[in-house]
């Protein structure tokens, strides 16, 4: 390959029908939210993954903010979540006055260490927010068990987790996002299935279904009005404008129609990386998929022993025009959190911040590029 090759970290994939469906939405004369494309997308998820009620949102961030309103977070309530996550996981609850209690990551996986949760539960704890990192399930038996024992709510941050599953001790295989009381998904352009910006709240606990729709519709009972259940619509609760336009939903529908095609190529890419790297790496970890989890090929990452090793690999990839990137800055070390809550030490989370590297991952990534990336990495690390 030429020296000036430019391989991005991510490239949004268009499946083909996006513009056609957007045109259909425009020609149909209905481009605000809640129309037929929105309904089709929501039904798709309800049917395919056994989610409760699904509501499309403008982002996963918005879905998390809806969740925080829905579970009635009050100032001082405590919410337990991993530190190694995107800022929205925490911010959504902070906006309602919650105090965030961060859990360390697992030693063998960037997801939260489920065994550390129980000791953090207090009389103020309201919710646990597991993040299924890279679409790999947290141990939901442990988390749902604690929720039941201490009367807590579970909101899955399923931003990475479309089409991924968890098998509990009862042997039942459940889709991620169908297990917690609520779950938030993302269709941001960096995720497997995209709509530019976009997200969805899955409401699995029937207690929250009616109110979710009201919060989604700016605190009004407009949805019930359109179904003819009330004769005029009113301001009945707090809420905001959480629903995306039909243009976004039309784009998303084109993607969902091709979900299997997207997933099968992404899995091929993941396994190509794994096979080409696994023989060579010494002491550098490849992604772990525990027995209870499936792999939805959301990302491919490496965990180095030291930050210096990661820097070397980033540099040698960069010299070939390939962009590999690290991931989250641990939230417990963020200026915003430290100023308020002081210093906490979470060793595994800090290790992933310093030593995890994500490789280019997108539908159109070519086999020869995967080979080039893998060979470059193997060459760089063979002496470290």
Ligand X SMILES: *Cc1c(COP(=O)(O)O)cnc(C)c1O
Task: List interacting residues with ligand X (CB under 6 A).
Answer: 59-61, 85-86, 88-89, 131, 157, 159-160, 186, 188, 199
Mode of pairing for the β-strands spanning 153-157 and 125-128: parallel
Q: Which is nearer to ligand X, 61 or 374 (CB)?
A: 61
Q: Which is nearer to ligand X, 193 or 381 (CB)?
A: 193
Region at 109 (left for phi over 0; alpha for psi -120 to 50; beta for the rest): beta
**Is-contact 195 248, C-beta < 8 A?**
yes
Q: Which is nearer to ligand X, 204 or 248 (CB)?
A: 248
Which residues touch 353 (CB under 8 Å, ≥6 apart)? 84, 326, 327, 328, 329, 330, 333
Shortest distance in whole angstroms from residue 100 CB to ligand X: 14
User: Would you state the structure tokens that stand for residue 14, as one six-digit string?
Assistant: 């268009």
At which residue do the structure tokens 């959480």 appear? 242
Q: What is the dihedral of CA 271, 274, 277, 279, to 10 degrees?
A: -100
3-state secondary structure of 211: helix
Q: Which is nearer to ligand X, 131 or 356 (CB)?
A: 131
**Is-contact 305 355, C-beta < 8 A?**
yes
> How far, in Å, CA of 255 to CA of 340, rounded?
41
Q: Which is nearer to ligand X, 59 or 296 (CB)?
A: 59
Q: Which is nearer to ligand X, 159 or 269 (CB)?
A: 159
Shortest distance in whole angstroms from residue 122 CB to ligand X: 25
Q: Which is nearer to ligand X, 59 or 125 (CB)?
A: 59
Q: Which is nearer to ligand X, 40 or 358 (CB)?
A: 358
Shortest distance in whole angstroms from residue 333 CB to ligand X: 17
**Is-contact 96 71, C-beta < 8 A?**
no
Shortest distance in whole angstroms from residue 77 CB to ligand X: 20
> How far, in Å, CA of 96 to CA of 338, rounded?
19
Q: Which is nearer to ligand X, 188 or 310 (CB)?
A: 188
Shortest distance in whole angstroms from residue 227 CB to ligand X: 28
Shortest distance in whole angstroms from residue 38 CB to ligand X: 16
DSSP 240-296: -B-PPPHHHHHHHHHHHHTHHHHHHHHHHHHHHHHHHHHTT-SS-BPPP--TTB---
Shortest distance in whole angstroms from residue 157 CB to ligand X: 5
> How far, in Å, CA of 97 to CA of 9, rounded?
35
Shortest distance in whole angstroms from residue 265 CB to ligand X: 21
Q: List C-alpha distances in Å: 208 to 53, 181, 205, 212, 213.
A: 9, 9, 6, 6, 9
Shortest distance in whole angstroms from residue 250 CB to ligand X: 18
Of 134, 75, 128, the closest CA to residue 108 belongs to 134
Of 116, 157, 120, the closest CA to residue 136 belongs to 157
């Amino acid at each position: 390959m030429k020296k000036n090759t430019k391989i991005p970290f991510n490239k949004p994939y268009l499946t083909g029908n996006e513009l056609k469906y957007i045109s259909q939405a425009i020609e149909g004369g209905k481009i605000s939210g809640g129309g037929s494309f929105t309904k089709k997308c929501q039904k798709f998820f309800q049917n395919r993954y056994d989610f409760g009620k699904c509501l499309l949102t403008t982002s996963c961030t918005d879905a998390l903010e809806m969740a925080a309103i829905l579970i009635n977070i009050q100032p001082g309530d405590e919410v337990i979540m991993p530190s190694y996550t995107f800022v929205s996981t925490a911010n959504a609850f902070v906006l309602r006055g919650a105090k965030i209690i961060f859990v360390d990551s697992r030693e063998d996986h960037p997801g939260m260490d489920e065994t550390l949760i129980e000791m953090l539960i207090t009389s103020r704890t309201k919710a646990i927010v597991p993040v299924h990192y890279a679409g790999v399930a947290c141990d939901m038996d442990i988390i749902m068990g604690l929720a039941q024992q201490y009367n807590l709510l579970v909101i899955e941050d399923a931003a990475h987790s479309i089409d991924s599953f968890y098998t509990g001790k009862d042997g039942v295989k459940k889709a991620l996002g169908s297990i917690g009381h609520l779950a938030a998904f993302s269709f941001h352009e960096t995720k497997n299935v995209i709509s530019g910006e976009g997200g969805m709240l899955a409401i699995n606990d029937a207690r929250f279904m009616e109110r979710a729709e009201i919060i989604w519709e700016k605190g009004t009972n407009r949805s019930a009005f359109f179904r003819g259940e009330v004769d005029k619509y009113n301001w009945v609760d707090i809420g905001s404008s959480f629903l995306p336009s039909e243009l976004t939903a039309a784009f998303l529908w084109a993607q969902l129609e091709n979900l299997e095609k997207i997933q099968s190529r992404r899995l091929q890419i993941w396994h190509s990386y794994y096979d080409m790297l696994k023989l060579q790496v010494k002491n550098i970890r490849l992604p772990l998929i525990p027995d209870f989890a499936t792999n939805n090929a959301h990302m491919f990452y490496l965990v180095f022993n030291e930050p210096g090793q990661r820097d070397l690999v980033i540099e040698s990839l960069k010299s070939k025009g390939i962009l590999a990137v690290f991931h989250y800055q641990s939230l417990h070390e963020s200026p915003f959190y430290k100023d308020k809550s002081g210093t906490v030490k979470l060793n595994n989370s800090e290790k992933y911040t310093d030593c995890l590297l994500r490789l280019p991952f997108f539908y159109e990534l070519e086999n020869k590029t995967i080979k080039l990336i893998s060979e470059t990495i193997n060459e760089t690390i063979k002496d470290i």
